[in-house]
Structure 1
Amino acid sequence: MRVAMKESATKFGVKMLVVIEFAFDVGDDEWKRFHSLVTRMGRGSKIIIVSRLQRLARFGSVKPIFLSAMSYDELRYLFKALSFGSEDPTEHPQLVQIADEFAKRFHGTEGSLVATNAYADVLRRNLDVKFWRCILDKGMRMVKRNLAIYGMHPNTLMYHGHPVDITDFALHPLSMTPYSASFSVKKESPSVTFGDLITDPSVRPKGDFTLIVWESRIPPHKSFPKSVTSCAQVAHQGSVMPGRKRQGVPI
């Protein structure tokens, strides 16, 4: 859970605006205690809830606003705008074709917006056809590996808090897991950005580390850190999603 608060003084006391981002559900009793605390701070205090969990709409006092997934054309346009930056895509027809292939891979998968930004940040560094194809190939191999092992797309695995094999990014057996409320980011843990790892696997720290998948360039610069552990193949044993059959995949 992430909480952002802003306060202002009025003649009725301190008025609060609290924005809460929920990554998982909470109990009704816990919510009532928190809600009571905020509303006692001052008349006119408001709470805004942001979450991908529709069941949390039960806590709202107004009609919830649901954001629908982007269409393919919208995602394709966004990815091109992010990947080319100030460059004119029409001057790079081969890169446009590769960008379209990326958009096809992202569309319809959970977590596609983060993946869109993460890959676009990497591609924008080098408008070279071979470079873009190399990044696309690594991403496709990573998807195929996880489909073969878990039977699910990596974005879906991450959404459910399940480990993802990223061996193809680092050329070394690695398992990536989302941080949770019970497993917070360790400040002393070495960290590497997704862009640095996928373009130069030699930057991989020895042992466990934090992978910054993407960090927003807009304040407050929200980041998406993941926990990365070596020996991904060991982690796979006993961690297959229910109803899925494990298949062998060579490194």
Structure 2
Amino acid sequence: MAPALTLKHLSPEAYWYFFKTLTFGSTDPEMHPRLAQLAMEIARLQIRSINSAYTTSNLLRDNFSIQFWCKVLSFLRGFIQKHICKFGVHPFELLNKNEPVQLGRMASPSEDFIICHQYHRSPHEEVPEIRLQDVFYGSIKKNGKFEVLVWRSQIPPYYSYVHACEIRERKNTGAKRKRCMKDGTTSS
């Protein structure tokens, strides 16, 4: 079997074209200027990650709603900013280096979603049924360690790209909240 084609980072213009084509398919983005603007901002946040392009474009293509795309953009901005503040590096930079990365989940903000490592499987090997976008953006109820399908190549050697993941419940480390005031005193 032939080795898989390895892509280096695309230029910003080439990445935008790639992401736009995956997201809009045969639909003309000029017919949806607000969606095109949102898609361009989402693509910019992904710092030219091929895996992220596949994951996010599949999600957006399945829901052509400005409100939903705004929600995805807001989620991406928030978790990327938190990750940079906490770890000092963009999460997709770690993914591009195949290093573990801690992400959030759009539907379950009380959980940490960790991608431990990524690899590919040949077309003859079994692949997970759970898709990355269903865990990252959706409401899949899963805890512990498991695998997700990121995307399947449409060109030879037809590899499937898989992430080994883990979902952990966040530990509540916040300060104890004060209860309502009764008679001018606070109870805790």
Q: 2:142 aligns with which of 205, 230, 246?
A: 205
**SS of 1:122 mapped into structure 2:** helix
Q: 1:195 aligns with which of 133, 138, 153?
A: 133
| RMSD of aligned residue pairs (Cα, Å) | 3.0
Separation in structure 1 between the aligned mates of residue 102 and residue 169 of structure 2, nearest angstrom: 6
Asked if the contact 1:141–1:168 (Cα under 8 Å) also holds between the matched residues in 2, the reply is no
**SS of 2:50 mapped into structure 1:** helix
Separation in structure 2 between the aligned mates of residue 157 and residue 130 of structure 1, nearest angstrom: 29
What are structure 1's unaligned runs of at least 5 residues? 5-18, 22-49, 52-66, 182-186, 235-247
**SS of 1:204 mapped into structure 2:** coil
Asked if the contact 2:146–2:164 (Cα under 8 Å) also holds between the matched residues in 1, the reply is yes
Separation in structure 2 between the aligned mates of residue 83 and residue 205 of structure 1, nearest angstrom: 27
Please name the residue that 2:179 is paired with.
Answer: none
Q: 1:103 aligns with which of 43, 49, 56?
A: 43
Q: 2:29 aligns with which of 80, 89, 93?
A: 89
Q: Name the CA shift for 1:138/1:71 in 2 (closer, same or farther; >3 Å).
A: same
Q: Name the CA shift for 1:163/1:222 in 2 (closer, same or farther; >3 Å).
A: same
**Does 1:215 pair with 2:155?**
no
Please name the residue that 2:182 is paired with.
Answer: none
Structure 1 runs (4+) greater than 4 angstroms displaced:
none
**SS of 1:212 mapped into structure 2:** strand
The one-letter amino acid paired with 1:132 is W
Q: Name the CA shift for 1:233/1:151 in 2 (closer, same or farther; >3 Å).
A: farther
Please name the residue that 1:54 is paired with.
Answer: none
Asked if the contact 2:94–2:100 (Cα under 8 Å) also holds between the matched residues in 1, the reply is yes
Note the 1:136-175 alignment, pairs <5 A. 136-169=73-106, 171=108, 172-175=111-114
**Does 1:134 pair with 2:74?**
no
Separation in structure 2 between the aligned mates of residue 207 and residue 147 of structure 1, nearest angstrom: 25
The one-letter amino acid paired with 2:103 is I
Please name the residue that 2:116 is paired with.
Answer: 177
Separation in structure 2 between the aligned mates of residue 174 and residue 70 of structure 1, nearest angstrom: 27
Q: Name the CA shift for 1:151/1:216 in 2 (closer, same or farther; >3 Å).
A: same
Identity %: 27
Shift of 1:233: 6.2
Separation in structure 2 between the aligned mates of residue 134 and residue 219 of structure 1, nearest angstrom: 35
The one-letter amino acid paired with 2:25 is G
1:45-83 deviation line (CA, Å, top 9, x unaligned): xxxxx66xxxxxxxxxxxxxxx76322222212211111
Q: Name the CA shift for 1:103/1:194 in 2 (closer, same or farther; >3 Å).
A: same
What are structure 2's unaligned runs of at least 5 residues? 121-125, 175-188
Please name the residue that 2:123 is paired with.
Answer: none
Shift of 1:221: 3.3
The one-letter amino acid paired with 1:82 is L
Note the 1:17-56 alignment, pairs <5 A. 19-20=2-3
Q: Name the CA shift for 1:169/1:199 in 2 (closer, same or farther; >3 Å).
A: closer
The one-letter amino acid paired with 1:197 is V
Structure scoring higher RCO (CA < 8 A, sep ≥ 6) equals 2
Work out the number of aligned pairs and report it: 166
